[in-house]
Amino acid sequence: DGGITQSPKYLFRKEGQNVTLSCEQNLNHDAMYWYRQDPGQGLRLIYYSQIVNDFQKGDIAEGYSVSREKKESFPLTVTSAQKNPTAFYLCASSIPGTSGTIFGPGTRLTVL
Residue ranges in contact with other proteins by CB under 8 A: 31, 33, 40-45, 48, 50, 58, 88, 90, 92, 94-106, 108
Side chain identity, residue 86: T
Q: How far apart are the first and last CA of the chain?
A: 36
Instruction: In angstroms, give the least distance from the CB of 52 to other proteins.
Output: 15
Output 33 or 85, the one with its CB closest to other proteins: 33
Angle at 48 between CA 101 and CA 58, to 5 degrees: 110
Instruction: In angstroms, give the least distance from the CB of 105 to other proteins.
Output: 4
Output 85 or 89, the one with its CB closest to other proteins: 89
> How many Cβ atoms from other residues are within 10 Å of residue 55's Cβ?
20
